A and B are shown apart, each in its own frame.
Chain A
Amino acid sequence: MLNNDGLSQLGPLQLDALKEVASIGAGNAATSLSDMLNSKIKMTVPNVNLIPIADLPGIIGNEEELIVAMLVRTEGDINGGVLFTLLPDSANLLIQLLVGQKTDIEDELGEFESSALKEISNILTGANLNAFSQMLGITVSPSVPSLEFDMAGAILEVCFIELGQIGDYALVIETEFLSDMEQEVKGNFFLIPEPESLQFILEKLGVASEG
């Protein structure tokens, strides 16, 4: 059906298993964020989908929309990356809640603001990956986050092409979270395993298909 290197093995069983892992990881991250902000965080059930690559740049809205994105590369048993994206308003609010200083990253995104955002992404990605490691009994070492503030389409395109399992379709493992505060903090997590690591995860989950 999908003339696609490697992704053709992903049926409902595999996608469901990935959804479960993603959900546990995101749950852990949401708890850390809750603690950090002292506020309830709601999290959607992760979306695990194969989508046509042409649709990829638009999956979180307008392709040209400005987003801030923190990417943590992973090494060890899973090579790939965890991408954490925020709209500028949400990023401003998170920085303010974390360091107590009002910022406007659309006006200035300097060392200070970047560090704060990278720190947040460190904590959340760490929580996410910890859940993964424990559940699968594996070791994953995260890198120092790198940050980009740019068009959503360009950011997604770069991350998925450089890291992901991408043919005519892309495997998108995505969770959206939402704060319960007066002002909304909304963000997205993307787990992007490299092709061999995807295979490894499926094997660990006991749902790798034969051949």
Chain B
Amino acid sequence: MADLKVGSEDDIIITSGLGSCVGVTLYNKATKIGGMAHVMLPEFPTNRNQGNSAKYADTALDTLLDKLRKKKVNLNRLEAKMAGGAQMFNFSSSNDKMRIGARNIEAVERILQEKRIPILGAEVGGNYGRTMELHNLTGKVLIKTVKHDDIVL
């Protein structure tokens, strides 16, 4: 949680037990280099000037792009996949502050659109936890849950 990693061909990047957090992967097919962020909240708070950038959708994606750039990946040829943003325990949906899962999904989608990175697959929302694996060799993303069959994005 609130972490991000970049890997190459032989790597599988895993984040376990996504709840309301969103896992997002950026992958470059040509080099088989990709990365994953496990973001917790939609945006970096405006009243702070330092903090863990991997925690927030906006700063996490920027940091992830930086890391990919350092690996000489062509940032114009990235594809994104995302999972998570569940809503569990019937937290009241009338109070906007409470819908963190939905806000995380919204934020990641909006930022990817602004950066013109296509979203090739998404397994988001719902009311269940997920584990997300990015297989860099193939670019496939495996989603495991407790209540449903595995899904490949």
Contact = CB atoms under 8 A, between A and B. Distances in A.
Interface string B117-133: 00000000001111100
A146 B90 contact: yes
Contact of B131 (A64, A71, A148): A64
Interface string B14-51: 00111111000000000000000000110001001011
A158 B51 contact: no
B146 A159 contact: no
B1 to A, nearest CB: 6
A104 B48 CA distance: 48
Nearest to A57: B17
B51 to A, nearest CB: 7
Interface string A34-46: 0000000000000
Given A53-B40, A149-B146, A161 B17 contact: no
Interface residues of A, number: 27
A153 interface: yes
Contacts of A154: 17-19, 86, 88, 128-130
B131 A158 contact: no
Contacts of B98: 162
B3 interface: yes
Interface string B39-71: 011000100101110010000000000000000
A89 B115 CA distance: 48
Contact of A148 (B20, B48, B50, B88): B88
B2 interface: yes
Nearest to A159: B89
B18 to A, nearest CB: 6
Nearest to B41: A161
B73 to A, nearest CB: 25
Chain B: interface size category: 20 to 34
A180 interface: no
B100 interface: yes
B132 to A, nearest CB: 11
Contacts of A71: 89
Nearest to A71: B89
B21 to A, nearest CB: 6
Contacts of B21: 157, 161
Nearest to B18: A154
B1 A151 contact: no
Interface in A33-82: 53-54, 56-57, 63-64, 66, 71
Interface of B: 1-3, 16-21, 40-41, 45, 48, 50-52, 55, 86, 88-91, 98, 100-101, 127-131, 144, 146-147
14 contacts: A3-B48, A5-B45, A53-B52, A54-B1, A63-B17, A64-B17, A150-B128, A151-B129, A151-B131, A153-B17, A154-B19, A158-B101, A162-B89, A168-B52
Given A56-B1, A153-B18, 18 more contacts: A3-B50, A53-B52, A64-B131, A64-B144, A66-B146, A146-B89, A148-B88, A148-B127, A150-B88, A150-B146, A151-B16, A154-B17, A154-B128, A157-B18, A157-B40, A159-B89, A161-B21, A162-B89
